[in-house]
Chains A and B, each alone.
Chain A
Amino acid sequence: DTGVSQNPRHKITKRGQNVTFRCDPISEHNRLYWYRQTLGQGPEFLTYFQNEAQLEKSRLLSDRFSAERPKGSFSTLEIQRTEQGDSAMYLCASSLSIGVLDTQYFGPGTRLTVL
């Protein structure tokens, strides 16, 4: 399988705990994106990287959220001191930026439930 992979697929945690998600993009894709999707809504952009550099962060990304892509390959998204409002599906996407338009390919997501 050469698609975008995400781990874990499901995470249940208690309020106040820290969680970390991992995303492995399609090989050689230089851009990696994180989105959040709540039930019945479309995905909302959180942040994206080009290689190792974090180029854009949404205002949705509070100080409790941090994302890294240390070697320009996989990425991690950490949420500190989780709140019930953080419960959502966290989606990762990757793309190869060439020319005018890059097409984003999405992973299956990590579903977070905060109790």
Chain B
Amino acid sequence: GDSVTQMEGPVTLSEEAFLTINCTYTATGYPSLFWYVQYPGEGLQLLLKATKADDKGSNKGFEATYRKETTSFHLEKGSVQVSDSAVYFCALSPPPSGSRLTFGEGTQLTVNP
């Protein structure tokens, strides 16, 4: 079945550091890929998405590129802020029209000033 694997956390960075959170997936066909973020005390929010190979999703300075050849969707940000501290979830939705989301385990990010 479908699965998503995220890098183990937690991740602790200093403000303005570069962030990478690795995500790889296993799925049949060409799933859609997502990053969701969960800030402390809040619900899951969609951060970015990509629907086909080589698509780049971006939002709030975060980026991720859909790499079919490596089945990856790594999340990056060039300069993190304290306000980026949250749990980040990689997820996929199977083709063709999208239905259930399969999530990774989540990566806790803490950014220190």
Contacts and interface: CB of A to CB of B under 8 A. Distances in A.
Contacts of A104: 46, 101
A105 B102 contact: no
A97 B99 CA distance: 9
A83 B103 CA distance: 24
**How extensive is the interface on chain A, given as a class?**
20 to 34
Contact of A100 (B36, B46, B98, B100): B98
A48 B101 CA distance: 11
A109 interface: yes
Interface residues of B, number: 24
A101 B93 contact: yes
Contacts of B106: 40-42
Contacts of A106: 36, 43-45
B43 A107 contact: yes
A56 B2 CA distance: 15
B100 A42 contact: no
Interface of A: 4, 33, 35, 40-45, 48, 55-56, 58, 91, 93, 97, 100-109
